[in-house]
Every structure is written in C-alpha cells, then in structure tokens.
Amino acid sequence: MAYLELKNVNKTYGEGKNATEVLTDINLTIEEGEFVAIVGFTGSGKTTLVNLINGLLKPTSGQVLFKGAPVMDTCHERGVIFQNYSLLPWLSVGQNVAMAVKEAFPNEKKKFIKERVARYVEMVNLSPAINKRPMELSGGMRQRVAVARALAMNPEMIIMDEPLGALDALTRGNLQDEILKIWSKDKRTALLITNDVDEGIYMADRIIPLRPGPKATLGPEFRIDIDRPRDKTELNDNPIYKKTRNAIIEYLMGIGEERKATAKEIYELPELAPKSFVA
C-alpha cells in the first residue's frame, strides 16, 4: 500500500461559465520515507495540490488516499509549512509554536512543551526573538517561525509549499539542512513544492514537474540518484547532478516554449539560474 496516493485527481473552482479547471488527471504515489519534490510554474496549482493532500480541499473527482484511507480533513500526521507564514499576530513567536505543540501533544506537561518550543525556535535561530510578535519580525523571520511550528508538531509527513522562497541564501541553506536532518533521522516522508530546481535536486529522491495550468497535470518524474548526505559544495561538480539538472531544465524550458506559442497568459518559469550553493 502506498503511503500517499492521488488517483485521477481533478480540481475545478467555480461552476458553469465561471469554472476553472486547475488540476487535471493528477496521479501521484509516494512511498513511506520518500522525499519527493514537485517543481511547478507560478500559478499552476501548486497550493491547490498541497491543500488537496492536506485535506483543506476536496477533489472535484478522483481520490486522495493517505495510508490507504481517503483524506477527509486536516490532521497532525500531515504537517504543512505554508508559504504565507499564517501566524497568529497577537501571539509571540514562542506562543505561536507552543500552541501548535500543545495541539500535537495534548497530554504532555508544561515542561515538555516549553523545552520543545525552545528547541525548535533555536533550530530556526530565533531564540533572541522568542518573545516578539509577528509584526515585529521580518518576512524571513516569520517564515522561520512557520517552519519551527510545523516541525515541532512532529508530523509523520512533512508537506512544504514553497516554504523557503522568501529567505536569504544562508538561512535557506541552513533550513534545507535542518529539514533534511529531521526527515532522515526521524524517518519521515516529505513532499516539497518548490520553484527552485536546485533545491529539489539537493533535497529530494524524485522531482516531478507540475505542468502549467489551466488543467495542470504532472509531468514525467526525474530520479535523483545521488548518495546522501549530499554535499552542496560538491554537487556542482557531480556528473549525475549536472545530467539530471540539464534534463529537468530542458523539460521545463520545452513546456515553457510550448505554452508561449499557445497560451494567452504568461507563465513564469521556475527558477532556472545556476546557483552557487551555500556551504
């Protein structure tokens, strides 16, 4: 039995003349312990896909199965790191994280909650800001609180909707490593939505492109056969990295060109510029 399975999933917003078919015929299987990245074009339906997996949205047709059972609602087993922070503005950094920890561990004592909050706030380098409220933080700091909050809940599956996009390269690199550490140490399953091909190659076992919408669907998968732990500094010289990166970019550029010729709207390509990784 697959850990997560999407079978012929379609999602349409609105009805009749106002209907927009955002996702069409999405088929995806993720096994327990895998790290899968979906690289998507801006506006192609990435967040819609995350919300279907998380249980915030229902498919118009098709099935989303988590450990063999249809996803009906959100649950703690699947933790989502959203791209828009979604913090409670009247609570401090520590209180935002504590609220999530209490929800995930309702029977634990105050000491456990306090220690767990401190550990995850420290992990995202925000200990000095633990008593600050979201409005006193930069966008990147808020995003780090959202990462700490989701991981502190100890989810079995970590779902990430472009969680690191707003961060500077150093923080981004550090958080990529922290997420990988938690994923591998605690044997989690992870789904990363990103527009950064290099991030996908560094982190994932497989990369699957989400073709541009409307009627976006998944493209062919690219396996990343690079041993772990991966070394960012060596990745640029790794022949498998170069070959895989070229193949993915060629595929994405191909659909970009195809779309330019036919679509009225302009679709932005995912981030394709070469990256100098931060060690």
Ligand X SMILES: Nc1ncnc2c1ncn2[C@@H]1O[C@H](COP(=O)(O)OP(=O)(O)OP(=O)(O)O)[C@@H](O)[C@H]1O
Which stretches of the chain bind ligand X, using CB under 6 A? Answer: 13-14, 20, 22, 40, 42-48, 213
- Tell me 134's DSSP state: G
Least separation in angstroms between CB 160 and ligand X: 12
For 21, counting Cβ atoms within 10 Å of its Cβ (0-12 exposed, 13-18 middle, 19+ buried), the class is middle
Whichever of 19 and 88 has its CB closer to ligand X, that residue is 19
Q: Decide whether 173 or 212 has the Cβ nearer to ligand X.
A: 212
Within 10 angstroms of residue 108's Cβ, the number of other Cβ atoms is 13
Q: What tokens does 246 get? A: 């070229």
Cβ closer to ligand X: 48 or 174? 48
> How far is residue 92 CA from its own chain's centroid?
25
**Closest distance between ligand X and the C-beta of residue 27, in Å?**
18
Q: Which is closer to ligand X, CB of 177 or CB of 271?
A: 271
Distances in whole angstroms, Cα of residue 109 to Cα of each of 14, 92, 105: 46, 20, 9
**Closest approach of ligand X to the CB of residue 236, in Å:** 27
Measured from the CB of residue 222, what is the shortest distance to ligand X in angstroms? 19
Name the packing angle between helices 139-152 and 93-104 (round to 10°).
Answer: 20
In the complex with ligand X, the residue whose CB is nearer, 102 or 215, is 215
CB of 22 to ligand X, least distance (A): 4
Token pair belonging to 184: 């591998």
Minimum distance, C-beta of residue 154 to ligand X, in the bound complex (Å):
26
Closest approach of Cβ 142 to ligand X, in Å?
17
Instruction: For the CB of residue 267, give the shortest distance to ligand X in the complex, in Å.
Output: 10
The 8-class DSSP code of residue 196 comes to B
Task: Tell me whether residue 20 or residue 27 sits nearer to ligand X (CB atom).
Answer: 20
Q: Measured between alpha carbons, how far is 157 from 234 in angstroms, rounded to an integer?
A: 29
Exposure pattern of 123-153 as b/e (b: 16+ CB <10 Å)?
bbebeebbeebbeebeeebbbbbbbbbbbbb
The nearer residue to ligand X, 14 or 139, going by C-beta atoms, is 14
Bridge pairing between strands 61-66 and 35-40:
unpaired
Count other Cβ atoms within 10 Å, centred on residue 17.
5
User: In whole angstroms, how far apart are CA 40 and each of 108, 246, 251?
Assistant: 39, 16, 12
In the bound state with ligand X, the residue whose beta carbon lies nearer, of 13 and 105, is 13
